[in-house]
Amino acid sequence: MGAQEVQNGAAVDTTLNPLVAAVQPSKTMLLTDLAGSMRASGVDVISLAAGEPDFDTPQPVAEAGIQAIRGGDTHYTANMGTLPLRKALQQKLQAENGLEYGTDEIVVSNGAKQAIWQGLLATCSPGDEVLIPAPYWTSYPEMARLARAHPVILDCPASEGYLLTAQQLRAALTPQSRLLILCTPSNPSGAVYSLERLQELAEVVAEHPRLLVLSDEIYEHIVYQPAQHHSFGALPSMWPRTLTVNGFSKAFAMTGWRLGYLAAPRVFAKAAAAIQSQTTSGASSIAQAAGVAALELGQAGGPLVADMVQSFQQRRDFVVEQLWKIPGMVIPEPEGAFYALPEVTAFFGPDVEADDFGGIPDVDTLCRYLLEKAHVAMVPGDAFGAPTCLRISYATSMQNLEGAMSRVQAALGSKSFKRRESMAESKTS
């Protein structure tokens, strides 16, 4: 019998679709919302949780959106996106990524998240396996489950730079393996796959006819030299197997515009477009006009994006330097995006506690400790398949980062924060 609630005197069956009932809410959003509510109540919280650039959309891009409104460009567009935007994306993909697509192989969507979901739903059948290297973006496994596929998590430790190896991939493959998701540069680790590592993975992919690759390249322009971004679909023989996802939110600071895209061989693009036609239909006409203007800024976003990336690099350097000053902290240097993923096993466990707080058995509790005592919001790594880590977003001002790092250093270096055996030793000495 389904679950029931009494509403207005009548019993209502409140049973949910089992697929939806099993979906876990995003911890990133939960922590961001909690930090916001604490700030609203007067607490001076510094949030390092949200994955959103703190820059405004470049003025020429914003102006294009304004002009679209003033010019009456406020109607439905073609389901796959306006032709001017798809032509601009076609040129961008060829010039910057070495990828050749027809305009009918590009599907513009309401954000890259929608493009990923539609790519999963278009390619995976019930029972198929989706291979997801961990650390991973928090939505990948839940999307796979919603598509009635089975997420297979491949742990990639800090010692490997949080990157998947060809040996791991080969060992994980089965006849049910359908889709490998690669995210480079990575959210949450900031890791960037080298061309050599991608080529090694491509050799394994080529051995398995059913295996496709979804390449999430949303952070492609936020890369710190000498690291470089390479599109998986541009590797020899990988174009027919690759669904490339990208968007405008990160590099162009256009998160609120909700504009992304999927580029894929026609059969997959057509399927994704069909899904979109029966769910959201096309993206905002105003956002698409702004997207054309963003692509007109120049190669890799032009100097406006380059200035933003330089600021992110300065912040990365500061955050990594400050984290290394905390004894016990392990932090591989991020090569892209705007996240750091330190290993923090030295700061939680069955023998760790803090005065006026209590035990800190796991990374979730450590996050709560830092939020309540240091008033710094971070995201526990278990949300990203990395339960020994914290994810830090440095997409905020240097003033906020300086304040946050000072608070974290004080909270984790405080004499009130200790392991229980240390307490016992101090009592007997």
What CATH number did the domain enclosing 181 receive?
3.40.640.10
DSSP annotation of 365 reads: H
Residue 104: pLDDT band with limits 50, 70, 90 = very high
Which residue, 275, 300, 325, sits at the end of a domain? 300
pLDDT digits (tens, 9 = 90+) for 125-137: 999 999 999 999 9
Same domain, 75 and 40: no
Same domain, 164 and 252: yes
Residue 6: pLDDT band with limits 50, 70, 90 = low
* 3-class state of residue 241 by DSSP: helix
7 assigned to some structural domain = no
The lowest-confidence range among 215-219, 236-240, 354-358 is 354-358
325 exposure class (CB count in 10 Å sphere: 0-12, 13-18, 19+): exposed
Model pLDDT, residue 363: 94
Same domain, 68 and 161: yes
pLDDT digits (tens, 9 = 90+) for 175-202: 999 999 999 999 999 999 999 999 999 9
CB 339 within 8 A of CB 313: no
Same domain, 138 and 22: no
* pLDDT at 334 > cutoff 70: yes
What percent of the chain has pLDDT above 70?
Answer: 94
Which residue, 252, 279, 300, sits at the end of a domain? 300
Residue 422: pLDDT band with limits 50, 70, 90 = very low
CA dist 160 → 172, 230, 255 (Å): 17, 19, 31
The lowest-confidence range among 195-204, 207-216, 348-357 is 348-357
Same domain, 337 and 193: no
Model pLDDT, residue 4: 64
Same domain, 75 and 172: yes
Which residue, 300, 321, 344, sits at the end of a domain? 300
Model pLDDT, residue 285: 98
Same domain, 166 and 234: yes
More confident residue, 427 or 277: 277
Average pLDDT, the chain: 93
Same domain, 319 and 406: yes
Residue 215: enclosing H or E segment and its boundaries?
strand 212-216
Residue 262, C-beta contacts closer than 8 angstroms, at least 6 positions apart? 106, 107, 109, 115, 116, 118, 119, 243, 244, 245, 268, 269, 272
201 assigned to some structural domain = yes
322 assigned to some structural domain = yes
Same domain, 207 and 310: no
Q: Determine the straight-line distance between the first and last CA of the chain, rounded to whole angstroms.
A: 63
What average pLDDT does the segment 325-347 reach? Answer: 95
Distance CA(278)–CA(114), nearest Å, equals: 13
What average pLDDT does the segment 148-160 reach? Answer: 95
Same domain, 173 and 295: yes
Distance CA(337)–CA(60), nearest Å, equals: 23
10 assigned to some structural domain = no
Question: For the chain, what is the domain count?
Answer: 2
* pLDDT at 342 > cutoff 60: yes
Model pLDDT, residue 34: 77
4 assigned to some structural domain = no
Burial 219-238 (b: 16+ CB within 10 A, else e): bbbbbbeebebbbbbbbeeb
User: What does the angle CA 381 – CA 415 – CA 422 come to, to the nearest 5 degrees?
Assistant: 85
* Boundaries of domain holding 393: 16-55+303-428
The lowest-confidence range among 116-130, 168-182, 244-258, 361-375 is 361-375
User: What does the angle CA 358 – CA 359 – CA 364 come to, to the nearest 5 degrees?
Assistant: 110
Task: Kindly report the pTM of this predicted structure.
Answer: 0.92
Model pLDDT, residue 48: 94
Same domain, 155 and 216: yes
Beta-bridge partner residues of 107: 262
9 assigned to some structural domain = no
